[in-house]
A and B are shown apart, each in its own frame.
Chain A
Amino acid sequence: MSAGHVAPKSLYYLIFGALMIGTALTVGAAFVDMGALNNVVMLAIACTKALLVILFFMHVRWSSRLTWVIAASGFVWLLIMFGFTLADYMSRGWIQGTLR
């Protein structure tokens, strides 16, 4: 059978380093008051880190298109659930007098 893609060890060390730097950055950023930007920065770093893990540690970078689609579908569905539910919470009270 095909042995799958074997990534060089150096690449793994590189990703590991990037993840550690990301962790340090996110901790550092949390202590700086940037208002609403704090959340954006925090989530951006977390998403980048997750993406690195998925692409390299989990080998999606070298996987079939089906794996890409399935891995993405989980997050897309998560966004759908978030989007529609928060659409309700965010638009509450838009009509005066209805209390909802």
Chain B
Amino acid sequence: MTRWWIRPLVRLVAALLLPVAVPAILTLLIWALPGDPASIICPPETCGGSAGLAERWHLDDGPMGFFRHWAAGALHGDFGRSWRMLQGVEVGELLAEAVPTTLVLLALAGVPVGLGVVGAVTGRLPAKADPLFHVLGLMPSIVLGLAAAALVQLEFGAGAFDGSARWARLVGGALVLAFSDGALAGAVTGTRGLFSAEARQRYVGIAVLRGETVLSNTLPNVAPALVGQLRARVLHLLSGAVIVEALLEINGLGDLLWGGTIWQDFGVVLAAATAFAVLSAALLVVQAVAEVLVALHVRRAPAVGAE
């Protein structure tokens, strides 16, 4: 307990590192690929002479120069334009649509997961239900996703993306995210495990003899582990969003990344991957802050000495 601040600190450092490291590594990859970067980013057949591109995109200054320019632009919200996936469209514009969409998707997926966690903490959700969640959780997202896609297609038609069709895709995707690949099951059993283990501690029984409640004693003590688990869950959902969005054609970050990858549109991939890194970093920060708050709460003591 003496150096309680180390873990949060490590997390904060990691959080600072991620959004820089991810695009930096990607940049190196562009140069690691065979062929010259310009023609990798836009094949000569569509972009003709790549010398012009190299200059436009600062590809001729080597990886460092390119990354400097890119990062400088990114800091001002200028991610350049899409070369291949959606030629001419500002990548920033794509992000502006994708990030909120993915956040909504995660939020929707977070509802059942959150309810599961709360249910497990308060004991409202009987442990008897766990096997059911487990069976559901064994389903890979691709299978549930296909079912959801089929429903959307049957209900709204293949080409429908706006209005209620958009929401149907979002809600469908969220449910797939929440239930497949053990997301909900993991959250529920994980939380339950944490609390039941803590509730078995002797001090809890004694606290009851003092007329205190179990939760008021266990909650602060499991909070750090709980926050850690929740972060892992959200990260899991975030990663799952790639497949689900691509499958259900939801205009989110995951789909953007998928599109960027198959079109080898590095501008888009860079931006999307960085956005993912930022979201993940934000989660790290949240966890670190939560840990600090808990530590401070634990250390709280009435001002003594005055009599």
A-B interaction: no
